[in-house]
Chains A and B, each alone.
Chain A
Amino acid sequence: MKRKLIAAIGVAGMLVSIAACGSDDKSDSGSKKAGADSYKGQTLTVWAMDGSTPPNWTKDVTAAFQKKTGATLKFETQKWDGIQQKITTALSESTPPDVIEVGNTQTPAYAATGGLADLSDLKKEIGTDWAEPLNKSAVFEGKQFAAPWYFANRVVIYNKKVWADAGITGTPKTRAEFFTDLDKIKAKGKAEPIYLPGQNWYFFDGLTIGQGADLVKKEGDKYVSNLSDPKVAAAMELYKKYQSYSKAPKDKDEATPQQADVFAKGKTGAFVGMGWEAGTAIKANPAIEKEIGYFTIPGETAAKPEGVFLGGSNLAVAAGSKKQDLAKEFLRIALSDQFEGALSKESGLIPNKTSLNSNLTANPAGAAAAPAAGVSGGTTPLIPEWAPVENNPNPIKSYMTAVLNGKTPAEAAKAVEAEINKRLSQKN
């Protein structure tokens, strides 16, 4: 009886303090003192993915977190390659990283493992206006297992000098115009028109979405490969045409070598990438900064941009973390309108609330990304079964390389279907 009473008081106390944090800023600053003392000396570890945490945002968030809680914030940057294995192992440890950035296509799988903490309370508190498409991936069996952080989709990043040298003015509004421009650069013969390795499957997924198809389909109650769909083949043919303008390896993805590093050499007309990749190029060659421009990947008609894969990232709290409250404090700060807006402004990422979208106009990459995200964006199916498909060696990538090396899309699809279906039916 007594224990129940204590628990009830504890819960009530927590609710009050949460309400206090959320409702208004003044009482928040009043309770700041108490918070600062209780968390003093603690360190919160946050795993963020490569490119997610731009320098100014990171600095400001760290400072704000320190000020509010008295605890230290430690960001650890992770690479996408092999991330699933890393997260699985980390979550199984007794001291996992407290907060983890999880890609939206992989979130359902982690929610299903039971390694992520239930954040339903937090959703009620700060997430009532989170953008629905982004939030979808964070909900599993009715519970909120992560907080949506940002959306990102690819744009064309181009070298203004190369384009001007080839006599091109303005940026293409349709796919046909884009190809004409690439032809002009090719005819000029001084630069590689576009750098596109054979396995940029995010771009391919975008083209697939543009054709109105999906990589997998539901058959009965099971998901199976949809690569043999003629619409997917059409998307792959488009990819092949783009790829024919590039000397990039057909069996590598955009990270080996980093396409931004190739672009930084100044001998490449364009590449399809995330806005923040321009930063990578500038870091490799500061002189390239003034030549960099962005435009939306053009579609069939000027009215509707090309389909894009809406990569999204969620922030999840490890169920095994002993700093649940502190982790939620971090989420409150990082996902606040102030910092969410700052992130969009600095990186050109699409924020988790539509009300914050105005921040994008300040960022040229964001401005180029936004038109496509709204009308042409899509994702891979948000199901736990999807994540294994992305594991290396990714069969979608094998399919792409096979087609680029001369197989027909139908043959190539046939060759990898068994593998995809096997992965989609893996039991947990």
Chain B
Amino acid sequence: MSVQTERADRAGSAPADTIRKGDAPRGGPAAARKNRAGASVPYLLLLPALLVTAVFLGWPLVKDGMLSFQNLNPRQLILHLTEWNGFDNYSEVLKSSDFWKVVERSVFFTAANVVLTMLAGILIGLLLARLGKKMRLLLMLGLVFAWAMPMIAATTVYQWLFAQRFGVVNYVLDTLGWHSMADYNWLGTQFSTFSIVTLLIVWQSVPFVAINLYAATTTIPREMYEAASLDGAGGWKSFTSVTFPFLKPFLLATTFLQVIWIFKSFAQLFAINGGGPDRLTETLPVYAFVEGVGNQHFGMGAAISFLTIIVLVALTGYYLRIALKNEEDEL
């Protein structure tokens, strides 16, 4: 907790510095006037972001909400009919066992991916902190490339890697003597499909976590480690009592972001196997798409995506609470 307040202090002091510097020659009443004008500056600066959010997020959300109370199928869409049907879509979704299975699957899928991503990301982040200059640059480059890879391109590459007949992975396994893998169908079962998607998502998400973590470690003062070693702390001890407390807020924030990103990942799951085999790898976003757009039950799809948002809020509620509480503490 102390770390966070400290960070906030530092951040808070930065604008004050610049104001002081800029105002120094003029001083006096001019500064006061400027301050009053300056009071509106933060809001003006926020305005573009708020506008963009309202237009590209708020408005679609309102539209989506309206759709979710309509019976909207191809006929209504083509003839531009509006047929309100109250909570029918919601009650139908909530009553179907499929939906609950998908919710459960989405939660487990997110949990597995977030844990794996965070573990790998932390390890690589700490490795970055320890590496020499050249190796660090090399590793950073690799991470940045993985991070910069467009999602569908990466998915296509993975599809080819794991292709049944001409995939490199099967070829290598076969060459190494594991002949039963020669024509192995990776997309044939729920588990193996999820494994590939998990590998893909973890590979895509690790760079963000690792680089973030590495950046965080650079803020830890060296003296702390010296002090810890003087007190007789070994490697593990200095990690748990110096490194970890410093990294904790970063870890929390990154985990929070990862939960959101992984929960809503759609392209990877959909592009790799369309949510198959037999709809067994459909998570909530894919389910909403297949039911809504795929089966052309647009109202139903809207209802599912609204419920998806609710599930996501519930999942991230814990962090939101901590974050809000921290804000209050600092005020």
**Could you list which residues of chain A lie within 8 angstroms of chain B, going by C-beta atoms?**
84-85, 88-89, 91-92, 109-110, 112-115, 247, 249-251, 319-320, 388, 391-393, 398, 401-402, 405, 423, 426-428
Give every chain A residue within 8 A of B164 (Cβ-Cβ): 249
Whether the pair A428, B276 counts as a contact (CB closer than 8 A) is no
Contact across chains for A393 and B278 when beta carbons are under 8 A apart: yes
B185 contacts A by Cβ under 8 Å: yes
- Number of B residues, CB within 8 Å of A: 26
Query: What CA separation (Å) do A423 and B294 show in the bound complex?
Result: 12
- Asked whether, in the complex, the Cβ of B296 is within 8 Å of the Cβ of A88, the reply is yes
Q: Which residues of A contact B183 (CB under 8 A)?
A: 247
Complex: A402 Cα to B277 Cα, angstroms? 10
Cβ-closest 6 pairs across A and B: A115-B78, A113-B75, A88-B74, A92-B77, A91-B78, A428-B75
Shortest Cβ gap from B197 to chain A (Å): 16
**Residue among B71, B187, B274, B295 making CB contact with A388, cutoff 8 Å:** B295
Q: Which residue of A lies closest to B185 (CB)?
A: A249
**Known A85-B296, A391-B296, A426-B297; contact A251-B277, beta-carbon cutoff 8 A:** yes
Shortest beta-carbon distance, B214 to chain A, in Å?
41
Instruction: Decide yes or no whether B207 CB sits under 8 A from chain A.
Output: no
Task: Output the least CB separation between A220 and chain B (Å).
Answer: 23
Cβ–Cβ contact B294 & A115, under 8 A: no
Q: Kindly identify which residue among A247, A393, A401, A405 contacts B279, using a CB–CB cutoff of 8 Å.
A: A393
In the complex, are the beta carbons of B187 and A426 less than 8 A apart?
A: no
A247 vs B75: C-alpha distance when bound (angstroms): 42
- Chain A residue nearest in CB terms to B296: A88
Complex interface: chain A residues within 8 A of B79 (CB): 113-115
Measured CB to CB, the nearest residue on chain A to B273 is: A251
Are A109 and B74 in touch, CB under 8 angstroms?
yes
Query: Is B77 a contact of A88 with CB atoms below 8 Å?
Result: yes
Q: Give Cα distance in the complex from A391 to B276, angstroms.
A: 13
Contact: B296 with A251, CB < 8 Å?
no
B196, CB-defined interface residue at 8 Å: no
Residues of A within 8 A of B125 (CB): none
Contact of A392 among B71, B74, B274 (CB under 8 A): B274
- Which residue on chain A has the smallest CB distance to residue B298? A88
19 A-B residue pairs with Cβ-Cβ distance under 8 Å, sorted by A, are A85-B293, A88-B74, A88-B78, A88-B296, A92-B80, A109-B74, A110-B74, A114-B79, A115-B78, A250-B188, A251-B276, A388-B295, A388-B296, A391-B295, A392-B274, A402-B278, A423-B295, A426-B295, A428-B75
Residues in B with CB closer than 8 Å to A88 are 74, 77-78, 296
Contact B188–A115 (Cβ < 8 Å): no
Mask for B278-303, Cβ within 8 A of A = 1, else 0?
Answer: 11000000000010011111000000
Residues on A with C-beta less than 8 A from B276 are 251, 393
How far, in angstroms, from A247 to B296 measured CA to CA in the complex?
Answer: 34
- Please name all residues of chain B whose beta carbon is closer than 8 Å to the beta carbon of A398 when the two chains form the complex: 277-279
- How far is the CB of B269 from the nearest CB of chain A, in Å? 13
Q: Is the CB of A249 within 8 A of B165?
A: yes
Query: Which residues of the partner chain A approach B75 to less than 8 Å between Cβ atoms?
Result: 112-114, 428
Q: Which residues of A contact B80 (CB under 8 A)?
A: 92
Q: Which residues on the A side are within 8 Å of B78 (C-beta)?
A: 88, 91-92, 113-115, 319-320
CA distance A152 to B275 in the complex (A): 31
Residues 131 to 160 of chain B near chain A (Cβ within 8 Å)? none
B274 pairs with A393, CB closer than 8 A: yes
Which chain A positions have C-beta within 8 A of B77?
88-89, 92
Residues of A within 8 A of B185 (CB): 249-251
Question: Which residues of B sit under 8 angstroms from A109, Cβ to Cβ?
Answer: 74
Please indicate the chain A residues that have their CB under 8 angstroms from the CB of B290 in the complex: 392-393
Contact string, B57-75, partner A, CB cutoff 8 A, digits 1/0?
0000000000000010111
Of A112, A393, A401, chain B has the most CB atoms within 10 Å of the CB of: A393
B277: A residues at CB distance < 8 A:
251, 398, 401
| Alpha-carbon separation in the docked complex, A392 to B76 (Å) | 21
What is the bound-complex CA distance between A407 and B73, given in angstroms? 35
Q: Which residues of A contact B294 (CB under 8 A)?
A: 85, 391-392
Closest beta carbon of chain A to B213's beta carbon, Å: 39
Q: Residue of A at shortest CB range from B71?
A: A427
Interchain nearest-CB distance for B293 vs A (Å): 6
How many Å from the CB of A134 to the closest CB on chain B? 24
B187 adjacent to A113 (CB under 8 Å) = no
For A112, what are the chain B residues with a Cβ–Cβ distance below 8 Å? Answer: 75
Pair A427/B73 contact, Cβ less than 8 Å: yes
- State A426–B296 Cα separation when bound (angstroms): 10
Write out, one digit per residue, whether chain B residues 222-249 have a CB within 8 A of any chain A CB (1) or not (0). 0000000000000000000000000000
Bound CA–CA A123/B183 (angstroms): 53
